[in-house]
Amino acid sequence: MTTATRLTRRQIVTRRRLRIGLALVVFLFGIFGIRLFQIQGFDTSAYAAMADDAGTRSTVVPADRGEILDRNGVPLATSMSGMTLTADPSLTAENAPQIARILSETLGDDIDYFEAIEQLRTPNSRFVYLVKDLPAWSADAALKALQEADLNGVFAEQKSLRSYPGGSVAANLLGHLDASASGVGGLEQQYDALLKGTDGSATYTVSPSGQRIPLADSDVTEMVPGSDVITTIDRDLQWYADQRLAEAVQMSSADWGLAITMDVKTCQVLQMSQVPTFDPDAGSGMTPENTVSRAYQTVYEPGSVLKTVTMAALADQGKIAPDTPIVVPSGMNVDGFPIGDYWEHGVLNLTAAGVIAKSSNLGTIVAAQQMDDETMHSYFRKFGFGQSSGTGLPGESQGILLDASTWTRANHATISFGQGISVTAMQVVRAIGAIANGGSMCEPTVVSGFQSPDGVTSSEPAAEMTQVVSQDAARAVTTMMEAVTADDGTAPAAQIPGYRVAGKTGTAWRVDPESGTYIRGQNTVSFIGFAPADAPRFVTYVVLDKPYAAAGGGSTAAPVFHDVMTMALQRFGVVPTGAPSPTIAQEW
Q: Which residues are catalytic?
A: 304
| CB-CB neighbours of 121 under 10 Å | 17
The DSSP secondary-structure symbol of 309 reads H
Question: Do residues 260 and 446 make contact, with C-beta atoms less than 8 angstroms apart?
Answer: no
CA distance 434 to 287: 35
Phi then psi for residue 266, to 5 deg, are -115, -10
Q: What is the DSSP string of 61-118?
A: EPPPPPPEE-TTS-EEEEEEEEEEEEE-HHHHSTTHHHHHHHHHHHHGGGS-HHHHHH
Question: Do residues 494 and 501 make contact, with C-beta atoms less than 8 angstroms apart?
Answer: yes
CA distance 340 to 333: 9
Q: Are strands 218-221 and 200-205 parallel, antiparallel or unpaired?
A: antiparallel
| CB-CB neighbours of 24 under 10 Å | 10
| CB-CB neighbours of 563 under 10 Å | 20
Upstream peptide bond of 276 is cis (omega within 30 degrees of 0)? yes
Distances (CA, A) of 456 to 227, 450, 459: 10, 8, 10
CA distance 243 to 411: 38
CA distance 382 to 376: 10
Cα-Cα-Cα-Cα dihedral sign, residues 565, 424, 474, 505 = negative
Question: What's the chain's Rg over C-alpha atoms?
Answer: 37
Question: Do residues 419 and 381 make contact, with C-beta atoms less than 8 angstroms apart?
Answer: no
CA distance 498 to 496: 6
Half-sphere exposure of 328 (CA within 13 A, CB side): 29
CA distance 327 to 314: 16
